[in-house]
Amino acid sequence: MNLMTISNLTHWFSGLRAVTDFNLSLKKGELVAIIGPNGAGKTTIFNLITGVYRPTSGQINFEGKELVGLPTNQIITSGIARTFQNIRLFKELSVLDNIRIAQYASVCYSPLEAIFHLPGFHKEEEKIRLRSMELLQIFDLEDQAYTISKNLPYGQQRRLEIARALATQPKLLLLDEPAAGMNPAEVEHLIELIQMIRKQFQLTILLIEHQMRVVMGIAERIKVVDFGQTIAEGTPIEIQKNPRVIEAYLGEEESK
Protein backbone atom coordinates (compact mmCIF):
# COMPACT_ATOMS: atom_id res chain seq x y z
CA MET A 1 0.00 0.00 0.00
CA ASN A 2 1.24 3.47 -0.89
CA LEU A 3 1.83 6.02 1.83
CA MET A 4 0.71 8.83 -0.49
CA THR A 5 -0.90 8.86 -3.91
CA ILE A 6 -1.30 12.04 -5.94
CA SER A 7 -3.67 11.73 -8.90
CA ASN A 8 -4.14 14.18 -11.80
CA LEU A 9 -3.15 17.19 -9.69
CA THR A 10 -3.71 20.45 -11.59
CA HIS A 11 -3.48 24.05 -10.42
CA TRP A 12 -4.15 27.34 -12.17
CA PHE A 13 -2.90 30.81 -11.20
CA SER A 14 -4.98 33.55 -12.86
CA GLY A 15 -5.18 31.76 -16.19
CA LEU A 16 -1.70 30.26 -15.95
CA ARG A 17 -1.54 26.51 -15.42
CA ALA A 18 1.28 26.02 -12.89
CA VAL A 19 0.83 22.25 -12.47
CA THR A 20 -0.71 19.90 -15.03
CA ASP A 21 -1.98 16.37 -14.29
CA PHE A 22 0.78 15.60 -11.81
CA ASN A 23 0.80 11.99 -10.57
CA LEU A 24 2.99 10.45 -7.90
CA SER A 25 2.90 7.36 -5.69
CA LEU A 26 5.14 7.13 -2.64
CA LYS A 27 5.79 3.90 -0.79
CA LYS A 28 6.75 3.93 2.87
CA GLY A 29 10.48 4.52 3.30
CA GLU A 30 11.14 5.81 -0.22
CA LEU A 31 13.26 8.84 -1.06
CA VAL A 32 11.99 10.46 -4.24
CA ALA A 33 13.19 13.70 -5.84
CA ILE A 34 11.37 16.24 -7.99
CA ILE A 35 13.65 18.29 -10.22
CA GLY A 36 13.20 20.86 -12.95
CA PRO A 37 14.13 24.40 -13.94
CA ASN A 38 13.10 27.42 -11.91
CA GLY A 39 9.40 28.08 -12.35
CA ALA A 40 8.64 24.47 -13.26
CA GLY A 41 5.99 24.13 -10.53
CA LYS A 42 7.96 22.13 -7.96
CA THR A 43 7.26 24.27 -4.89
CA THR A 44 3.65 24.68 -6.03
CA ILE A 45 3.31 20.89 -5.71
CA PHE A 46 4.56 21.09 -2.11
CA ASN A 47 2.12 23.93 -1.40
CA LEU A 48 -0.73 21.84 -2.79
CA ILE A 49 0.24 18.82 -0.67
CA THR A 50 0.42 20.90 2.52
CA GLY A 51 -2.79 22.86 1.98
CA VAL A 52 -1.20 26.25 1.28
CA TYR A 53 -3.04 26.15 -2.06
CA ARG A 54 -6.14 24.19 -2.97
CA PRO A 55 -5.76 22.40 -6.31
CA THR A 56 -8.02 23.28 -9.21
CA SER A 57 -8.52 19.54 -9.67
CA GLY A 58 -7.03 16.24 -8.60
CA GLN A 59 -6.66 14.15 -5.45
CA ILE A 60 -4.01 13.78 -2.74
CA ASN A 61 -4.47 10.64 -0.68
CA PHE A 62 -2.31 10.10 2.41
CA GLU A 63 -2.68 6.84 4.34
CA GLY A 64 -6.16 6.39 2.89
CA LYS A 65 -7.28 9.93 3.78
CA GLU A 66 -8.07 12.62 1.23
CA LEU A 67 -6.08 15.79 1.97
CA VAL A 68 -7.60 18.18 -0.57
CA GLY A 69 -9.70 20.71 1.31
CA LEU A 70 -8.09 20.14 4.71
CA PRO A 71 -6.42 23.09 6.48
CA THR A 72 -2.65 23.04 6.82
CA ASN A 73 -2.70 22.31 10.56
CA GLN A 74 -4.72 19.13 10.02
CA ILE A 75 -2.38 18.02 7.26
CA ILE A 76 0.60 18.50 9.57
CA THR A 77 -0.98 16.56 12.42
CA SER A 78 -1.83 13.75 9.98
CA GLY A 79 1.91 13.13 9.57
CA ILE A 80 3.35 15.46 6.90
CA ALA A 81 6.05 18.06 7.60
CA ARG A 82 8.07 20.33 5.33
CA THR A 83 10.94 22.76 5.08
CA PHE A 84 11.02 25.78 2.81
CA GLN A 85 13.19 27.04 -0.03
CA ASN A 86 13.76 30.22 1.99
CA ILE A 87 14.44 29.36 5.63
CA ARG A 88 11.43 30.17 7.82
CA LEU A 89 12.54 30.01 11.41
CA PHE A 90 11.20 32.03 14.33
CA LYS A 91 14.34 34.12 14.06
CA GLU A 92 13.94 36.08 17.29
CA LEU A 93 13.39 32.94 19.38
CA SER A 94 16.02 30.57 20.70
CA VAL A 95 17.01 27.38 18.92
CA LEU A 96 15.31 25.36 21.66
CA ASP A 97 12.07 27.35 21.43
CA ASN A 98 11.91 26.78 17.67
CA ILE A 99 11.82 23.04 18.35
CA ARG A 100 9.43 23.32 21.28
CA ILE A 101 6.86 25.33 19.33
CA ALA A 102 6.61 22.64 16.66
CA GLN A 103 5.31 20.17 19.24
CA TYR A 104 2.44 22.22 20.63
CA ALA A 105 -0.05 20.99 18.03
CA SER A 106 -0.18 17.68 19.89
CA VAL A 107 0.13 18.67 23.58
CA CYS A 108 -1.89 16.60 26.03
CA TYR A 109 -2.64 19.17 28.73
CA SER A 110 -5.86 21.18 28.84
CA PRO A 111 -6.16 24.99 28.70
CA LEU A 112 -7.10 24.89 32.38
CA GLU A 113 -3.91 22.99 33.27
CA ALA A 114 -1.90 25.51 31.27
CA ILE A 115 -3.50 28.57 32.87
CA PHE A 116 -3.01 27.33 36.44
CA HIS A 117 0.26 25.46 35.80
CA LEU A 118 -1.16 22.22 37.17
CA PRO A 119 0.97 19.04 37.37
CA GLY A 120 -0.19 17.81 33.95
CA PHE A 121 1.13 21.01 32.38
CA HIS A 122 4.57 20.73 33.98
CA LYS A 123 4.85 17.04 33.10
CA GLU A 124 4.05 17.67 29.43
CA GLU A 125 6.33 20.71 29.22
CA GLU A 126 9.25 18.70 30.58
CA LYS A 127 8.52 15.96 28.06
CA ILE A 128 8.59 18.54 25.25
CA ARG A 129 11.85 20.03 26.54
CA LEU A 130 13.57 16.64 26.73
CA ARG A 131 12.33 15.66 23.28
CA SER A 132 13.57 18.98 21.90
CA MET A 133 17.02 18.53 23.40
CA GLU A 134 17.23 15.01 21.98
CA LEU A 135 16.57 16.40 18.50
CA LEU A 136 19.13 19.15 18.96
CA GLN A 137 21.69 16.56 19.99
CA ILE A 138 20.99 14.50 16.88
CA PHE A 139 21.54 17.61 14.75
CA ASP A 140 24.66 18.73 16.65
CA LEU A 141 22.86 21.83 17.89
CA GLU A 142 22.57 21.11 21.61
CA ASP A 143 25.34 23.60 22.45
CA GLN A 144 23.32 26.28 20.64
CA ALA A 145 20.04 25.57 22.45
CA TYR A 146 19.76 29.06 23.94
CA THR A 147 21.22 30.93 20.96
CA ILE A 148 18.80 33.21 19.10
CA SER A 149 18.17 31.34 15.86
CA LYS A 150 18.96 34.29 13.57
CA ASN A 151 22.49 34.28 14.97
CA LEU A 152 23.24 30.75 13.79
CA PRO A 153 25.46 30.24 10.74
CA TYR A 154 23.48 29.51 7.57
CA GLY A 155 24.18 25.77 7.52
CA GLN A 156 23.05 25.39 11.13
CA GLN A 157 19.83 27.31 10.39
CA ARG A 158 19.11 24.76 7.67
CA ARG A 159 19.68 21.92 10.12
CA LEU A 160 17.45 23.61 12.69
CA GLU A 161 14.63 23.90 10.17
CA ILE A 162 14.82 20.17 9.43
CA ALA A 163 14.96 19.38 13.16
CA ARG A 164 11.88 21.53 13.74
CA ALA A 165 10.02 19.65 10.99
CA LEU A 166 10.94 16.35 12.64
CA ALA A 167 9.62 17.62 15.98
CA THR A 168 6.10 17.15 14.59
CA GLN A 169 6.89 13.42 14.27
CA PRO A 170 6.04 13.13 10.57
CA LYS A 171 5.80 10.05 8.44
CA LEU A 172 6.45 12.05 5.27
CA LEU A 173 9.06 14.81 5.14
CA LEU A 174 9.04 17.33 2.29
CA LEU A 175 12.41 19.02 1.77
CA ASP A 176 12.35 22.09 -0.49
CA GLU A 177 15.88 22.80 -1.77
CA PRO A 178 17.66 22.02 1.52
CA ALA A 179 21.09 22.53 -0.09
CA ALA A 180 20.31 26.04 -1.34
CA GLY A 181 23.06 28.47 -0.35
CA MET A 182 25.32 25.80 1.14
CA ASN A 183 29.03 25.48 0.45
CA PRO A 184 30.43 22.11 -0.76
CA ALA A 185 31.35 20.94 2.76
CA GLU A 186 27.86 21.78 4.05
CA VAL A 187 26.31 19.94 1.10
CA GLU A 188 28.27 16.78 1.92
CA HIS A 189 27.16 17.01 5.54
CA LEU A 190 23.55 17.52 4.39
CA ILE A 191 23.66 14.36 2.28
CA GLU A 192 24.85 12.37 5.29
CA LEU A 193 22.24 14.04 7.49
CA ILE A 194 19.33 13.19 5.17
CA GLN A 195 20.45 9.58 4.92
CA MET A 196 20.81 9.38 8.69
CA ILE A 197 17.40 10.87 9.58
CA ARG A 198 15.67 8.77 6.94
CA LYS A 199 16.96 5.61 8.59
CA GLN A 200 16.72 6.72 12.23
CA PHE A 201 13.22 8.20 11.97
CA GLN A 202 11.94 5.68 9.40
CA LEU A 203 10.88 8.51 7.12
CA THR A 204 9.54 8.73 3.61
CA ILE A 205 11.15 11.76 1.96
CA LEU A 206 10.07 13.84 -1.02
CA LEU A 207 12.87 16.16 -2.10
CA ILE A 208 13.07 19.23 -4.33
CA GLU A 209 16.67 20.08 -5.14
CA HIS A 210 18.74 21.81 -7.83
CA GLN A 211 22.10 20.39 -6.81
CA MET A 212 22.46 17.23 -8.84
CA ARG A 213 25.14 15.90 -6.51
CA VAL A 214 22.48 15.68 -3.80
CA VAL A 215 19.74 14.28 -6.02
CA MET A 216 21.83 11.66 -7.81
CA GLY A 217 23.50 10.67 -4.57
CA ILE A 218 20.44 9.85 -2.48
CA ALA A 219 17.25 9.66 -4.58
CA GLU A 220 15.86 6.28 -5.55
CA ARG A 221 13.46 7.72 -8.10
CA ILE A 222 13.30 11.10 -9.80
CA LYS A 223 10.41 12.97 -11.41
CA VAL A 224 11.30 15.79 -13.76
CA VAL A 225 8.85 18.64 -14.30
CA ASP A 226 9.03 21.48 -16.80
CA PHE A 227 6.40 24.21 -17.19
CA GLY A 228 4.16 22.33 -14.76
CA GLN A 229 4.25 19.05 -16.70
CA THR A 230 6.04 15.80 -15.93
CA ILE A 231 8.52 15.14 -18.75
CA ALA A 232 10.38 12.15 -17.31
CA GLU A 233 10.44 9.71 -14.41
CA GLY A 234 12.91 7.00 -13.47
CA THR A 235 16.04 6.04 -11.60
CA PRO A 236 18.97 8.48 -11.40
CA ILE A 237 20.80 6.59 -14.17
CA GLU A 238 17.71 6.66 -16.44
CA ILE A 239 17.19 10.38 -15.82
CA GLN A 240 20.83 11.23 -16.58
CA LYS A 241 20.47 9.60 -19.99
CA ASN A 242 17.06 11.04 -20.89
CA PRO A 243 17.37 13.49 -23.84
CA ARG A 244 14.39 15.62 -22.76
CA VAL A 245 15.86 16.03 -19.28
CA ILE A 246 19.28 16.94 -20.63
CA GLU A 247 17.68 19.59 -22.83
CA ALA A 248 15.34 21.00 -20.17
CA TYR A 249 17.48 20.77 -17.06
CA LEU A 250 20.66 18.76 -16.82
CA GLY A 251 22.06 20.32 -19.98
CA GLU A 252 21.49 23.74 -18.46
CA GLU A 253 23.47 22.69 -15.39
CA GLU A 254 26.34 21.31 -17.47
CA SER A 255 26.62 24.48 -19.51
CA LYS A 256 27.24 26.66 -16.44
Whichever domain contains 107, its CATH number is 3.40.50.300
Does 241 lie in the same domain as 122?
no
The pLDDT of residue 253 is 43
pLDDT reading at 149 higher than 70? yes
Does 110 lie in the same domain as 190?
yes
Answer for the pair 34, 42: CB distance below 8 angstroms, yes or no.
yes
The pLDDT of residue 85 is 87
Does 96 lie in the same domain as 131?
yes
pLDDT reading at 142 higher than 60? yes
Helix (H) or strand (E) holding 13, with range, is strand 2-13
Does 142 lie in the same domain as 78?
yes
- The residue length of the chain stands at 256
The pLDDT of residue 256 is 38
Give the whole-angstrom CA distance, residue 164 versus residue 167: 5
The pLDDT of residue 116 is 64
In terms of residue numbers, what domain contains 234?
A: 219-255
Does 199 lie in the same domain as 75?
yes
Read off the pLDDT band of 11 (50, 70, 90). Answer: very high
Does 185 lie in the same domain as 110?
yes
Q: pTM, whole model, 2 decimals?
A: 0.90
